[in-house]
Structure 1
Amino acid sequence: MPTPVEVVAYDDAWPQAFAAMSKHLVSLLGLAVIAIDHIGSTAVPGLAAKPVIDIDVTMRGAETIGAGSAALIASGFVSRGNRYDDGVWAFVRQSSPGQRVYLCPPFSDTHQRRLIFRDHLRQSREMADAYAALKRRLAATFPFDGDSYTAAKTQFINEVVELAKRG
């Protein structure tokens, strides 16, 4: 069944939700974790977003991702697979707000690009506002098609990452 693509106003509770989720992930994954990062639109203060907390968990090595995956699944997450074909494994859990966790190997390009994008939006209100407007337009265009919604944001994201890399 398709789920609605809903973009909502920023919620000041999202950072606290991330902090609680982060503690839970550390308890599940233990010493295999190098870092836990709040990524995605809910990580940018003031930015409209889907009410889903996106979290990248950098693991000590690709070999720790299997055990980490099993721990997430045992705790109620659903595997979405290797979504980017680069060793990053995705998991979702229905909650309020929703949770999307990505187990990343060290030095993951996907993870680094997400951090660059997030940090640039945090630093540029103009760029964050442009992204929010795009997200609202795309949510109206693809109200029940999350894959198309996500794919249609790719060009904007790539342009912001390249702009940020140039400094």
Structure 2
Amino acid sequence: MPTLVEIVPYDAAWPRHFEACAAELRSLLGPCVIAVDHVGSTAVPRLSAKPLLDIGVTLRGGHDISAACAALVAAGYESRGNRYGDGMWAFLHGTAVPPRRVYVFAAGNEAHARRITFRDYLRIHDEAARDYERLKMRLAVAHPYDGDRYTAAKGAFIADIVRRARAAADE
């Protein structure tokens, strides 16, 4: 059943919820975890977002993915698979408060690097963050029960920000 694409005002508790979840994930997945990163709009202060934490878990290597996936499923996460062929396996914990989507992948994953670049750019460029917020609000109205179209329609904006951020880093 489709779920509503809901955008809510920034919640100052999101970083605390992320820290608690990161500790749980490190404990659950053990020494194969290199890093746990808060990504997505809830990771950008003052930015309205879907009330769902997006969390990236970097594993030592591809050989750790199967065991990590099994541990997440055993802990109550719903597997969403590797839908985009980007080396990231997604899991949803919809009953957690707030709900969380966890991505696991091997170190060096390019899709995760783009997410970090995008997040960091929005954290320091308020105008870009506001533009993104306005885009998300429009898209939530245009695609209220179609999360895939909502996400796809943000792609060009995100790609442009990543391009700008990487170009600035190369200067």
Query: How would you bin the TM-score normalised by the shorter chain?
Result: over 0.9
* Identity, % of aligned positions: 54
Q: Which residue of 2 aligns with 1:166?
A: 167
Q: How many residues align?
A: 167
Could you say what the CA RMSD is over the residues aligned between the two structures, in angstroms? 0.6
State the shift of 1:156 in Å: 0.3
Residues in 2 aligned to 1:5 and 1:143: alpha-carbon distance in whole angstroms: 5
Once the two structures are superposed, what CA deviation does each residue of 1:4-62 show, in whole Å capped at 9, x if it has no partner?
A: 00000000000000000001001110001000000000000000000000000000000
State the shift of 1:104 in Å: 1.3
Pairwise mapping of residues 64-79 of structure 1 onto structure 2 (< 5 A)?
64-79=64-79
Moved over 3 A (4+): none
Q: Which residue of 1 aligns with 2:132?
A: 131
Q: Which residue of 1 aligns with 2:35?
A: 35
Residues in 2 aligned to 1:47 and 1:58: alpha-carbon distance in whole angstroms: 25
Structure 2 counterpart SS, 1:97? coil
Residues in 1 aligned to 2:64 and 2:52: alpha-carbon distance in whole angstroms: 25
Q: Which residue of 2 aligns with 1:91?
A: 91
Residues 1:147 and 2:115 are matched in the alignment: no
Residues 1:48 and 2:48 are matched in the alignment: yes
1:152 counterpart letter in structure 2: A
Once the two structures are superposed, what CA deviation does each residue of 1:65-96 show, in whole Å capped at 9, x if it has no partner?
A: 10000000000000100122122100001122
Structure 1 counterpart SS, 2:79? strand
2:35 counterpart letter in structure 1: A
Q: Which residue of 1 aligns with 2:158?
A: 157
Q: Give the TM-score, by structure 1 length.
A: 0.99
1:54 counterpart letter in structure 2: D
Unaligned runs of 5+ in 2: none
Unaligned runs of 5+ in 1: none
1:46 counterpart letter in structure 2: R
Q: Give the TM-score, by structure 2 length.
A: 0.96
